[in-house]
Chains A and B, each alone.
Chain A
């Protein structure tokens, strides 16, 4: 059974600092890995999807890397802003199902 772990559970940084969020998974036989953002009481917003054959994906200030062999992914958010405050979820797609990590709650202080 796939286990997905996200570290740290919470992170508080001053505005402008770069964010580094980590995700690890136990079974490397995955189709893809996805990063989501969730605001309190809201649904999920897809940020980046990395196919198993890819090493990284970029969108604006966001960059996600994937090392499938070691079971790790990292989400980098450059020059953080207060609007980046949210919970970030990592999800691994294997066996046609998504397994989610518990998330990292980010607070960016103005």
Chain B
């Protein structure tokens, strides 16, 4: 149990366009989901914490107008990269925490975004 999926697994988009990444908890309800970014040969950096039904909390230095997060249900959170630029190219990973059960996070397989 505790499976998290992401879609798409990879995406290439042109500079200036927007791209949406989905994160789903497949077999559990997640009141909280997290979005991370990982640049090549670097570790994961938390971008934002997403709570179902409320606004996301962004980490310092993350532009909330550029990285739009929506957590409309207990199994789905989306990250939209607006007006993408080549410097937004990265590996985006989401995680989910089970409703009411501990603090463990379950990770999705990641989405590779390349902006040309």
List the interface of chain A (C-beta within 8 A of B): 31-32, 34, 36, 41-44, 46, 49, 89, 91, 93, 96-103
- State whether the Cβ of B93 lies closer than 8 Å to any Cβ in chain A: yes
Is A42 a contact partner of B103 (Cβ separation < 8 A)?
A: no
Q: How far is the CB of B74 from chain A (nearest CB, A)?
A: 17
Residues of chain B within 8 A (CB-CB) of A100 are: 43-45
* Cα–Cα, bound, A97→B95 (Å): 11
- Pairs across A and B, CB under 8 Å, 8 listed: A42-B110, A43-B108, A89-B43, A89-B44, A93-B105, A96-B49, A97-B49, A98-B105
Other-chain contact of A34, B32, B43, B49, B104 (Cβ < 8 Å): B104
Pairs A-B, 10 closest by C-beta atoms? A43-B109, A43-B110, A44-B107, A100-B43, A102-B43, A31-B103, A100-B44, A93-B103, A103-B43, A43-B107
* Cα–Cα, bound, A32→B104 (Å): 8
Is B109 a contact partner of A98 (Cβ separation < 8 A)?
A: no
* Cα–Cα, bound, A55→B30 (Å): 28
Q: How far is the CB of A73 from chain B (nearest CB, A)?
A: 16
Is A98 a contact partner of B46 (Cβ separation < 8 A)?
A: yes
- State whether the Cβ of B34 lies closer than 8 Å to any Cβ in chain A: yes
- Besides A34-B104, A42-B109, A44-B107, 7 more A-B contacts (Cβ < 8 Å) are A32-B103, A89-B43, A91-B44, A96-B103, A97-B49, A100-B43, A102-B42
CB interface residues, B 33-74, toward A, < 8 Å? 34, 42-46, 49
Residues of chain A within 8 A (CB-CB) of B45 are: 100
Residues of chain B within 8 A (CB-CB) of A34 are: 104
Q: How far is the CB of B40 from chain A (nearest CB, A)?
A: 10
Residues of chain B within 8 A (CB-CB) of A96 are: 32, 49, 97, 103
Q: How far is the CB of A29 from chain B (nearest CB, A)?
A: 13
